């Protein structure tokens, strides 16, 4: 494992939203083939971290470093980060009325794989394949992006996009939220099919149940803008059992000391 190259890393990342610091110096290092999970209670800064890394203009990174596949992430705007291979699966995917899924994805694939004739040539075939993988109907292609989609459909479409764009790092922001068990299985299957020894995954989640289907290599527990605990997959189970309160108490104490 240790001889694998780092595909995505960040260190001492600070994030501010409207002048308020919500992420207070977090670091991690994802090697090719690794899946990391960031867990934590609501309001701990998980989603802020995910959005900031993707370049959301409302989330300002005020300190730290981030490197994607050897490139300085923080020098890039959201578009460039996407083209460099970062993919954010949104917690609340936006509807783009009037833009069909097929046209949307064709433009995205074209941008991500610029100059790769093969990727464009096989677009239709690939799309069909991914529809199958995520068990969505072909009629998805002609529907407007997320417009009138159910919660589950939106999440499937996020993972479908990730599968089409073949990122180096997939950041999945609460992809499991709002999914029933069947949908969770399908979405997890999609994520597992994208995960390979050439990329990394960062799962941001409140609950461990998605980790029943996607095995993380490392789990980071985030609280009050910091990683307060790190460990292997067993940590997720422990959290499931004990909740976050004990950590809150412990963390509180630490602050007080």
Applying CB under 8 A, which of residues 40, 55, 190, 200 lies at the interface with another protein? 55
Q: Does 165 bind another protein (CB under 8 A)?
A: yes
Tokens representing 117? Answer: 């004739």
Q: Does 99 bind another protein (CB under 8 A)?
A: yes
Q: Does 142 bind another protein (CB under 8 A)?
A: no
**69, 85 in Cβ contact below 8 A?**
yes
Closest distance to another protein from the beta carbon of 31 (Å): 24
For 2, the 3-state DSSP assignment is coil
Q: What angle do CA 169, 215, 5 make, to 5 degrees?
A: 40
CA–CA distance, 231 with 39 (Å, rounded to integer): 11
Q: Does 93 bind another protein (CB under 8 A)?
A: yes
Q: Does 149 bind another protein (CB under 8 A)?
A: no
Element (DSSP H or E) covering residue 144 = strand 144-145
CA–CA distance, 70 with 242 (Å, rounded to integer): 38
Task: Give 58's DSSP letter.
Answer: T
Binding string, residues 71-90; x marks residues near another protein by CB under 8 A: ------xxx-xxx---xx-x
Binding string, residues 196-235; x marks residues near another protein by CB under 8 A: ----------------------------------------
Q: Does 101 bind another protein (CB under 8 A)?
A: no
Task: Give 17's DSSP letter.
Answer: E
CA–CA distance, 108 with 83 (Å, rounded to integer): 9
Q: Does 98 bind another protein (CB under 8 A)?
A: yes
Q: State which of positions 8-27 bind another protein (CB under 8 A).
A: none
Binding site for another protein (CB under 8 A): 54-58, 77-79, 81-83, 87-88, 90, 93-94, 96-99, 104, 107-108, 111-112, 144, 161, 165
């Amino acid at each position: 494992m240790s001889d694998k190259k780092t595909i995505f890393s960040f260190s001492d990342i600070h994030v501010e939203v409207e002048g308020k610091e919500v992420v207070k110096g977090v670091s991690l290092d994802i090697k090719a083939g690794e899946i990391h999970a960031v867990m934590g209670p609501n309001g701990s800064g998980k989603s802020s971290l995910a959005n900031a890394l993707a370049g959301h203009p409302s989330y300002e990174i005020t300190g730290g470093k981030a490197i994607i596949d050897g490139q300085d992430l923080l020098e890039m705007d959201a578009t460039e980060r996407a083209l460099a291979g970062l993919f954010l699966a949104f917690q609340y995917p936006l509807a783009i009325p009037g833009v069909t899924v097929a046209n949307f994805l064709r433009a995205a694939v074209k941008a991500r794989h610029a100059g790769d004739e093969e990727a464009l040539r096989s677009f239709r075939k690939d799309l069909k394949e991914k529809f199958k993988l995520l068990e969505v109907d072909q009629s998805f292609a002609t529907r407007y992006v997320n417009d009138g989609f159910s919660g589950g459909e939106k999440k499937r479409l996020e993972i479908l996009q990730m599968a089409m764009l073949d990122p180096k790092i997939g950041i999945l922001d609460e992809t499991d939220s709002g999914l029933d068990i069947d949908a969770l299985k399908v979405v997890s299957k999609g994520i597992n099919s994208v995960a390979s020894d050439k990329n990394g995954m960062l799962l941001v989640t409140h609950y461990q149940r998605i980790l029943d289907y996607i095995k993380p290599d490392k789990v980071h527990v985030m609280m009050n803008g910091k990683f307060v605990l790190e460990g292997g997959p067993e940590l997720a189970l422990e959290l499931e059992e004990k909740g976050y309160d004990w950590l809150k108490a412990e963390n509180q104490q630490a602050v007080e000391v």
